[in-house]
Amino acid sequence: MSHELVLVLDFGGQYNQLIARRVREHKIYCEVKSYKTPIEEIKAMNPKGIIFTGGPNSVYLDESPRMDKEILELGIPVLGICYGAQFLVYALGGVIEPAHDASLSEYGKTECEIDTSSPLFDGLDKNTIVWMSHNDYISKVPDGFKSIGHSVKCPYGAMADEERKLYGVQFHPEVNHTVQGFDMLGNFLTKICGCRGDWTMESYAETAIRDIREKVGDGKALLALSGGVDSSVACKLLAKAIGSQLTCIFVDHGLMRKNEGDEVEAAFADSGVNFVRVNAGERFLGKLAGVTEPESKRKIIGEEFIRVFEEEAKKIGKVDYLVQGTIYPDVIESGLGDAAVIKSHHNVGGLPDYVDFKEIIEPLRLLFKDEVRALGTTLGLDEKLVWRQPFPGPGLAIRIIGDITPEKVATLQDADAIFREEIANAGLDRSINQYFAVLTSMRSVGVMGDGRTYDYTLALRGVSTSDFMTADFSRIPYDVLEKVSVRIVNEVKNINRIVYDITSKPPATIEWE
């Protein structure tokens, strides 16, 4: 089953993922491609619409990214955003100029008056708030274009050649700060591109299951199951497609949250796949004994995980396919064209050479995290796994500052479980994007039962974020924090002080190590 497609052509913008997510939220399938994508390839994809992203460059400079203007002659509706709008103007003979006068630059929330007779702004409020971020400005639009939106400083805050269905906006409709931005994108997609919105997780699951069955045939597949949402959803999808032909190896390194290993095992007990749990806690803790440096902890755990995986994979015999939980942000963050590489994702790096894989299956590589969760729900995956809090591969090893001992792991598991339980009791477990406890290496004096204590300080962390690249600390109500604090100090040994981390990212990171 083929879906309607909208292409996001990336000029190095920081919001390329966000634009694609917003399109998908309208139930329209979308892919991010580099602006370097050949025209013939774009034609072959037959998109219903094209969106040009923003970017950090000035379009009039020789080294700036540009496409052949043939892209604007295909008869496909185009929406240019920020740099994308300026490229549209430049390619068609308009004029872009640098804002030598600082009064012509615009950053942040800006009042804009829009022409609601344009299909791009149909049904919206005439006066609206948008998010501007530009140094260059459009001083002359190409022939056939008119202004359909302006601010005090920007006469061409939005422009259109409605006959050719070419549109440009100087602001960013994809960010929440643009109050009616979601509806603007919806108008472009439905009223200008003519999309119906046929992208659902039900249809995705149906297509993916059929494709996996055709690919695997009577072969065998292997999945290293972490218990995280991505690998768990991949497992559930493969289970429906090929059942017992799939083997999942779940390595419990003893550094998971309280009861989490049992919860993962229970979730896949009746899944129809071969599920292998390896309890390797003592092995991992032995390797980590006396290690305090965070990066060393990560490397030790990563290497030992592979060693355990190798040993278990040998027992299975010949395996044809390796299944990975790669998701779309992994693909995008690894770099598109001239876009910055945020982090390279080597999901196969270090896997055993002796497993002769015919091919790698990545059934989630086109999905964003929220879509992965939606797919998990569609497939009937246990809700605890679908909404599992983001958890680093090294687990609690990097949430224990300093050396790791079995006693510290147990202490942190108990404290973290209370924190998560009270957040859920308060109904905040879906609104706080990530929350967890950290056992610090700091000890301080306290008084309990009229006696002196000298125990550890526990730090609580909660953040709000849409992309995990930036984050703000969550404003957890004081009464919830108080309940958490009282319970932990009274119910968990070796902790006598609780602090709450109110640092944003940047300058901090979400995790402490």
Task: For residue 94, give the nearest of 173, 39, 181, 170 by alpha carbon.
Answer: 170
Whether 431 and 469 have beta carbons less than 8 Å apart is answered as no
Q: How many angstroms from the chain centroid is the CA of residue 270?
A: 29
Largest Cα–Cα distance in the chain?
83
Instruction: Burial-class residue 296 by CB neighbours within 10 Å (0-12, 13-18, 19+).
Output: exposed
Structure tokens, 403? 């050396």
Helix, strand, coil shares of the chain, percent, nearest 5, are 35, 25, 40
Q: Is 134 a catalytic residue?
A: no
Structure tokens, 320? 């044809």
Q: Is 82 a catalytic residue?
A: yes
Whether 416 and 439 have beta carbons less than 8 Å apart is answered as no
> Of residues 4, 106, 174, 371, which has the active-site annotation?
174
Q: For 40, which DSSP code? A: H
Residues 6+ apart with CB under 8 A from 373: 229, 233, 386, 387
226 dihedral zone (left: phi>0; alpha: psi -120 to 50; beta):
alpha
Q: For 222, which DSSP code? A: E
> Of residues 3, 30, 31, 82, which has the active-site annotation?
82
> Beta strand 158-161 with 146-150: parallel, antiparallel or unpaired?
antiparallel
Residues 6+ apart with CB under 8 A from 369: 229, 230, 327, 329
> Of residues 134, 172, 304, 422, which has the active-site annotation?
172
Q: Is 172 a catalytic residue?
A: yes
Long-range contacts of 57-63, Cβ-Cβ distance < 8 Å, separation of 24 or more: 57/11, 57/12, 57/83, 58/96, 58/98, 58/135, 58/136, 59/83, 59/86, 59/87, 59/89, 59/90, 59/96, 59/136, 60/90, 60/96, 60/97, 60/136
Task: For residue 402, give the nearest of 438, 446, 436 by alpha carbon.
Answer: 438
Task: For residue 181, give the nearest of 140, 144, 149, 154 by alpha carbon.
Answer: 149
Instruction: Burial-class residue 365 by CB neighbours within 10 Å (0-12, 13-18, 19+).
Output: middle
Residues 6+ apart with CB under 8 A from 162: 118, 119
Q: How many angstroms from the chain centroid is the CA of residue 226?
A: 18
Instruction: Burial-class residue 175 by CB neighbours within 10 Å (0-12, 13-18, 19+).
Output: middle
φ, ψ of residue 490 in degrees (nearest 5): -85, -30
Q: Give residue 138's identity as a one-letter amino acid code.
A: I
Active site residues: 82, 172, 174
